[in-house]
Amino acid sequence: MVGIQGDTDGVGRLIAVVVFIALLVPGVLLARAWGLASGRRAVAGGGVELVEPTAQGTAALRRQAAHGRRWRGLGLLLGVVGIVVSVVLLAEASVFLWLPLLAFGLLAGVLLAEATRPRPRWALSAPPRRPRQGEQISAWLVWTMRLVVVAELVTAGEAWSSGDLGPAAGWAVVVAPLVAWLLAEVALLRALLRPLPAEGADVPVDEALRTWTAHLVVAAASVSALLPFGTLLLRAGLGRGGEAGEGFDVLPVALVAGGFSALAAGLAVAGFLLTWLRPVRSNSRALTG
């Protein structure tokens, strides 16, 4: 019996290792997909460099850049205010909330900036022509964002209903990703419905602005869901792993692996998000060099 039990435990550990590695793969694939998205950014930005926009196109670039800076600054200010409030309410215990509050303040600024971007004031094409969303961003990234948000909300709801989360934490991990996702969908819809400009010189500018918006909001919403999702999975896995029981339970290993995968993917996407914060620029001097 002892030998059989030892063989069973060995097989269980082998299965756990396989499950752990398998659950890390989605995070790696997501990070790779965002790495490939950097190429789309380079192409869109390069298209702007190869043409000289009209006066309306140049004004649109400046206005959009200023709009984004204002909202991101407001988001950072909101994060700082959140830190001050947490210090007042929780004193030294709030130190672990400082970085998340600052990060979510910046994410809120990014999402609000893209969801409220003013329409460019150039002449529109007649009849109206609109690009497909696949020309702006990979559908795989968009649907991954949506699936991650749904998974995070389901996980948070389960943890909240079972009493693992308090009211404050429960509201935070439900409302923040949900609002981020709704803002992202609004920004994506606005970018999709806006007609193309009439002037051919402004088309690359318009395409770059749409591409920037799509990637910024999808990345921000993905990070807003991936980080709490990974934390919830990791917490659940460690909690179940500490429970005494007979035999080898693979579920805690799967939860921990999923948590690590989501956290790693969230941090990777956040890194790519920072590279997209640089506004679209036009350098007409490249045409005369």
3-state secondary structure of 152: helix
What per-residue confidence (pLDDT) applies to 14? 62
What per-residue confidence (pLDDT) applies to 285? 47
Q: What is each CA distance from 282 to 49, 53, 57, 69, in whole angstroms?
A: 5, 8, 9, 17
What per-residue confidence (pLDDT) applies to 244? 47
What per-residue confidence (pLDDT) applies to 20? 63
What per-residue confidence (pLDDT) applies to 287? 37
3-state secondary structure of 207: helix
Domain ranges in the chain are: 2-283
What per-residue confidence (pLDDT) applies to 283? 66
- Residue pLDDT, tens place only, 229-283: 999 988 888 877 555 455 556 777 778 888 888 888 898 898 888 888 888 777 6
- Residues (pLDDT < 50) of the chain are 1-7, 244, 285-289
What per-residue confidence (pLDDT) applies to 82? 85
